Amino acid sequence: MEKTMFEEILSRVQKPARYLGTEWNSVRKNWDRVAIKMVFAFPDLYEVGMSHLGLQILYGLVNREADYLMERVFAPATDMEAELRRRGLPLFSLESRRPLADFDVLGFTLPYEMTFTNVLNMLDLAGIPLRARDRTGVHPLVIGGGPAVYNPEPLAPFFDAFVIGEGEESLLEVLHAIKQVKEMEERPERPALLERLGEIPGVYIPGWYEVEYTEEGRVKRVFPIKPGAPERVRRRLLKDLNDAYFPETPIVPLAEAVHERGMVEVFRGCTRGCRFCQAGIIYRPVRERDPQILQHQACEVLKSTGYDEVSLVSLSSLDYKGLDELLPSLRDRCSVTRTGISLPSLRVDSFSVRVAGNLPGVHKTSLTFAPEAGTQRLRDVINKGVTEADLLEAARAAFEAGWTALKLYFMVGLPTEEQTDLEGIADLVRKVRQVGRDIFKGKKKVRLTVSAASFVPKAHTPFQWEGQVPRETLEERHRFTASLVKRSGADYNWHNVETSFIEAVFARGDRRLASVLEGAWHRGCRFDGWTEHFKFSLWEESFQAAGLDPRFYAGRRLNYDEVLPWDIIDSGVDRMFLIREHKKALAGETTPDCRFAGCTGCGICPRLGVSTRLVGGDGERKLTEERL
């Protein structure tokens, strides 16, 4: 795009810094000197995508290779979209401002289901046919990765390929394969490219499979129509984070991002076993980085960015076995430069609060705890592993350390939920408030906020067979709980029920939903995860036009012997383990964390040939599979 045109467009949009691409540590390579060009597409706004650690990792990983380049593109805000469409201009990458259609690969990360319409919108703005079958050799390959590809079927017609699992393990193999094919033919036909990609473990080519349905509309089977295509596609994962690439010179955003801090990943995976949590399954097993490596990475990130805070990132950072070794030395280094240290995820226990309170640069504004459910019975159902005593002791520790505001996170609509469970939320709020009053004795005001989400069943979890509670019932439960919580002196915020409903539909959907998705996009759906943009009536019209009932996907309880749309994807966790966990949930039985109580038989370690790796006193510990 020519400079004068670009400057004119920027003068007409609200946040031009989103589109400049001139950030500190961004990479610009000579276009003509690299063999393969890829653009990383994040289907949400710049400020959301620039807080995504996966983007920073893959951007650095690819750009350190001489033969490849990676540039970035984010979903344009509505004002930028209007400018592009009014002028007939294609969506462009940030670094070189080239049209996306000029690249060899357009790679979308798919963080969650409510970004799907943005994917279609970005393809359309780029001038790339929405459906894979309509693309030719002149178009880039469209590939997808990220958490949402563990059920890729609603998006299957729009993608040439999905990369299942951790991108550091497979992305360079994908680019190398494309380079090999292009060396034989400058403009290879798509079948030749897909043929080569299909040889890479963890790559799912949806066009090689067909779906057969029963008369009732359930999936009868998903089967390959391409000779040699695998029956199931097993995810890729890193066996040792110590050997994995990590970006020590991450891009520093120009526009204010959701998170303005340096990040180091202390470990990956979680085996606490919350039964609603997809991340706890798809990122297994736990693999920890050595403290010495983390210290080095933290220092390099701070040195190369100028951030005044470093965040120790994981699904549950205080579970890190090397914390006693890492924190003292990191505190010493950070105190010299007055750099803060943050732990984005805290357990509901007093130890977590005391550790967080002793970190440099911590602002005593508010803390967030996630009890998830209001009664012990329901916390046992979801295998949360948290008691009321844990929460009250954590609240006491927080108030004594100087915090005056707490946010409590719950879910409404969990399997087996009863009215007493909702009443228990308000009861917990009252008890937490009383703890604060006892400590502050009227000298400070305690502020409590309850944030409540609606349960969404996710693929590859023990609750994948559970249906979502009907929308009307969810709305009633939220209003009932809100009235009780407000009487207890706390604010109550809940997520849009209709948004959670659409999320559940696509989380458990099949390929027939592609027509619904395309219809919703045609009708104007964009940024569906943003309350101000979500238009449920357009979704209703789209389902009606496609002749599909969304309640069939969101609300129906599935049978154990039923073929699931996402069965084509092998997460590495054994199906029988998930069934056992679901049965234990219904019986109110808990399952311990395998890091501390021995193998629970999920099957991930022997099936994928990897070991749980814990640092610290235990050293590395290998887990063996129990007989199922």
pLDDT digits (tens, 9 = 90+) for 569-628: 999 999 999 999 999 999 999 999 998 888 999 999 998 888 788 886 544 443 333 322
pLDDT band per the 50, 70, 90 thresholds, residue 439: very high
Distance, in Å, from the CA atom of 506 to the CA atom of 502, rounded to the nearest integer, reads 6
Q: What is the mean pLDDT of the chain?
A: 93
What pLDDT is stored for residue 159 in this prediction? 98
Q: Is the pLDDT of residue 58 over 70?
A: yes
Record the pTM: 0.95
What's the mean pLDDT in 561-570? 97
What pLDDT is stored for residue 349 in this prediction? 82
Query: Regarding beta strands 161-163 and 141-145, do their DSSP bridges make them parallel or antiparallel, or are they unpaired?
Result: parallel
Q: Is residue 26 part of a domain?
A: yes
- pLDDT tens digits, residue range 142-152? 999 999 999 99
Which of 234, 265, 290 is the last residue in one of the domains? 234
Distance, in Å, from the CA atom of 192 to the CA atom of 199, rounded to the nearest integer, reads 11
What's the mean pLDDT in 232-256? 94
> The tokens of 573 are what?
């966790």
Which of 200, 234, 268 is the last residue in one of the domains? 234
Q: Is residue 250 part of a domain?
A: no
Q: Is the pLDDT of residue 285 over 70?
A: yes
What's the mean pLDDT in 338-350? 81
Window from 27-41, 318-332, 353-367, 484-498 with minimum mean pLDDT: 353-367
Distance, in Å, from the CA atom of 72 to the CA atom of 106, rounded to the nearest integer, reads 10
What pLDDT is stored for residue 624 in this prediction? 34
> The tokens of 8 are what?
């004119």
Distance, in Å, from the CA atom of 422 to the CA atom of 139, rounded to the nearest integer, reads 52
Distance, in Å, from the CA atom of 261 to the CA atom of 264, rounded to the nearest integer, reads 10
Q: Is the pLDDT of residue 493 over 90?
A: yes
Share of the chain above pLDDT 90, in %: 82
Q: Is residue 538 part of a domain?
A: no
Whether 54 and 190 share a structural domain = yes
Q: Is residue 283 part of a domain?
A: no
Q: Where are the alpha helices (DSSP H) in 358-470?
A: 376-381, 388-400, 419-440
Share of the chain above pLDDT 70, in %: 97
CB count in 10 Å sphere of residue 79: 12
Beta strands in 481-554 (DSSP E): 491-494
Q: Is residue 396 part of a domain?
A: yes
Which of 201, 234, 267 is the last residue in one of the domains? 234
What pLDDT is stored for residue 121 in this prediction? 98
What pLDDT is stored for residue 621 in this prediction? 40
What's the mean pLDDT in 240-246? 94
Distance, in Å, from the CA atom of 522 to the CA atom of 534, rounded to the nearest integer, reads 14
Distance, in Å, from the CA atom of 442 to the CA atom of 123, rounded to the nearest integer, reads 57
Q: Is residue 127 part of a domain?
A: yes
Q: Is residue 345 part of a domain?
A: no
Alpha-carbon separation of residue 75 from 63, 91, 120, 240 (angstroms): 22, 9, 10, 33
Under DSSP, the state recorded for 406 is E
Report the CATH number at residue 60. Answer: 3.40.50.280
Q: Is the pLDDT of residue 553 over 50?
A: yes
Q: Is the pLDDT of residue 211 over 50?
A: yes
What pLDDT is stored for residue 612 in this prediction? 81
- pLDDT tens digits, residue range 395-430? 999 999 888 999 999 999 999 999 999 999 999 999
Q: Is residue 372 part of a domain?
A: yes
- pLDDT tens digits, residue range 286-296? 999 999 999 99
Give the count of domains, the chain: 2
Q: What is the DSSP string of 204-256?
A: E-GGGEEEEE-TTS-EEEEEE-STT--SSEEPB--S-GGGS---SSPPBPSSP
What residues contact 49, with CB distance under 8 A and at least 6 apart? 42, 55, 72, 74
Torsion 431-432-435-436 (CA) sign: negative
Q: Is the pLDDT of residue 64 over 60?
A: yes
Whether 224 and 367 share a structural domain = no
First to last CA, the chain: 60
Q: Is the pLDDT of residue 442 over 70?
A: yes
What pLDDT is stored for residue 628 in this prediction? 27
Show the domain range for 502.
Answer: 362-512+548-558
Under DSSP, the state recorded for 18 is G
Window from 43-57, 156-170, 598-612 with minimum mean pLDDT: 598-612
Q: Is the pLDDT of residue 186 over 90?
A: no
What's the mean pLDDT in 191-215? 96
Report the CATH number at residue 435. Answer: 3.30.750.200
Distance, in Å, from the CA atom of 92 to the CA atom of 71, rounded to the nearest integer, reads 10
Q: Is the pLDDT of residue 364 over 70?
A: no
What's the mean pLDDT in 453-477? 98
pLDDT, greater one: 174 or 324: 174
